[in-house]
Amino acid sequence: MKALLNILLFIFLGLGAVYAQTHYVGVERRHTSLTEALQFASTGDTIVVEKGVYKEGNIIIDKPLVLLGQDFPVLDGENQNEILTITADSVTVSGFKIQNVGVSYLKDQAGIKLSNSRGSTLRGNQLINTFFGVMLEESVHCTVADNEIIGNAENEASSGNAIHLWYCDSITIKNNIVKNHRDGIYLEFVNYSTIAENVSEGNLRYGLHFMFSNHDNYLGNTFRNNGAGVAVMFSKQINMQRNVFEKNWGSASYGLLLKEIYDSEITHNEFTENTSGIYAEGANRCKITHNNFRRNGWALRISGSSDSNVFTKNNFLSNTFDLSTNSQHNYNTYESNYWSEYSGYDLDKNGVGDVPYHPVKLFSYVINRVQPSIILLRSLFIDIINFAEKVAPAITPQNLVDPSPLMKPVS
């Protein structure tokens, strides 16, 4: 019986392949517009669009098709319309230049929108000035890869996100370049998805912004020079590895903001030249290990509402402040990290300092309460009170200590 079913399936697929057709769109072709070709195309067909500029308003794709652009044909919304709206499963769009989506304060118009789609792929497209670049809503098992999405955002109110996901599952976002939008990549209610090897930079607000999204992986991305850095909120079971967070400067900027996040791992990341490397507020049971923190204003800012986090085997290198907190109590573990400011000794030569290290300076504690006091940062007086607090902690949490500081950076 199983063999018979396999034979029937083979015949069915074979017939599908035989009858699938390729339609061409171009100036000298039978079809001169994509809209016209879509009317003639059947499920499983391929439409090849040749080089040219096509101004066809909002194009609806409601059947499984493959759309291929030759030499990046231009789909132009003339600053009025959404351009491609896909409501079918198994649609592929590749090789197009999509530009000039209309800005709307009532509708989230996008260069390409997938709505209730399963198994679709958007690969190798250029999206220029598209308000929202790529939007996926209530879609599953889709891929967005190798696209370049460049916006012209001037303020948050009149701009959209480069890649925007809402109520999605099992999505792959890989190797895209996203610039100059409100948020580079935005996820809300998105689970079991992977965001990998993307470059997000120069966005007005966050390079990556997600909330209410669980069991997701963020691997090997670069988030650079964004207005407020990266925000991770109201999520659990998040895995962040090998990402680069750099040059996110501003009074309220972070390499990575953790707010109400639980049971997650942050490992092998680079935090370089951010106002705050990690700012944690209500982060609980997270493992932060094998990360490098270089030349940040604050490497870590951990609020008193963060509990049961473990910081181990990290390198803290030339930060203005390695760690600050707003609480006199500590409920987290700091152990076996390398601190470039550590000045202890290692008489038994086991690679571990013989004197515990207190990474919170009294002055960082003062700045949290009186920010203008930062003008005293380089004064001799501040050095004296920091030293006195280190010798005999009276204000900073006495149990916030690394009992086994490393003498050499973790490789």
Tens of pLDDT along 243-260?
Answer: 999 999 887 789 999 999
The mean pLDDT value for 119-134 works out to 97
The mean pLDDT value for 320-345 works out to 91
Q: How confident is the model at residue 371 (pLDDT cuts 50, 70, 90)?
A: low
The mean pLDDT value for 319-331 works out to 87
Buried b (16+ CB within 10 A) or exposed e, 101-126: bbeeeeeebbbbbbeebbbbbbbbbb
**Structure token digits, residue 96:** 């197009």
Measure the CA–CA gap between 166 and 65, rounded to whole angstroms.
23
Higher pLDDT, 180 or 18: 180
Question: pTM above the 0.85 mark?
Answer: yes
Among 77-81, 275-279, 348-352, 358-362, the minimum mean pLDDT is found in 358-362
Residue 372 has pLDDT above 70, yes or no: no
Q: Is the dihedral of CA 196, 202, 203, 206 positive or negative?
A: positive
pLDDT recorded at residue 62: 96
Chain centre distance of CA 114: 20
